[in-house]
Structure 1
Amino acid sequence: MKNPQQVPKNESVTVKISPDKMNAYIIFHIPENDGRRMTKNEIQDYLHLEGLRQGIDHEVLESLFENRNYEYLYNIARGKEAIKGEDGKVIYNFQTEKKIKPTEREDGTVDFYNLNLIENAHEGDIIAVIIAPTDGEDGYDVLGQPIFSSKGRPANVKRGRNVSSSEDGLKFFATKDGQVGVIDGKIVVSEVFEVDSDVNTSTGNINFVGSVVIRGNVLSDFKVFAAGNIDVYGVVEGATLESKGSMNLHSGVLGNGKAEIKVGGDLVAKYIENCNIIVNGNIVSEAILHSNVRCSKNIEIGGKTGLIVGGNVTAGKLIKAKVIGSNFGTHTELKVGVDPNLVEMYKKNKEEIERIKSEKTKSSQLRELLETKNKKNLLDDEKKILLEKIVHTNNFITRRIEELNEEQELLMEKIQEIENGEIKVEQKICPNVEIYISNAYMRTREDISRCTLRKEGADVKISAY
Structure 2
Amino acid sequence: MNREMNLSASTADNILENTEMNSLESIEDEIIDQSVEMEILPDLLSVIMSIIPGSPHGKPIRRDTINLAFLEKGIYYGLDEAVIFDALLKGNTKETYIVAKGKRPEEGADAYIEYTKDLETLGSGIPKTQDDGTVNFKELNFVQNVQAGEVLARKILAQVGKPGFNVLGQEIPGILGKDVFLQAGKNTSLNEDGTILTSNINGKLELKDGKLSVSEVLEIKGDVDATTGNINFLGSIIVNGMVQSGYVVKAIGNIEIKGPVEAAIIESSGDIILQRGIQGKEVGKLKAGGNIIAKFIEMSTVIAGGNVVTESILHSKVKSGGIVSLTAGKGAILGSEVIAVNGLEAITVGSNLGKGTEIILGAPPEVLEEYKALKAQIEKVNNAIATTITNIQFLQSRQEKEPGSNQSRINTMIKLKLKLERDLKIRKIKKEKLDEILKDATNGALSVSKTLHVGTKITLGNQFKEIKTPYENARVHRKNGSGEIEIMLL
What TM-score does the superposition give when structure 1 sets the normalisation length? 0.45
Between structure 1 and structure 2, the one with the greater Rg is: 2
Which structure has greater helix proportion?
2
- Choose between structure 1 and 2 for higher RCO, CA contacts under 8 A separated by at least 6 residues: 1
What TM-score does the superposition give when structure 2 sets the normalisation length? 0.43
Which structure has greater strand proportion?
1
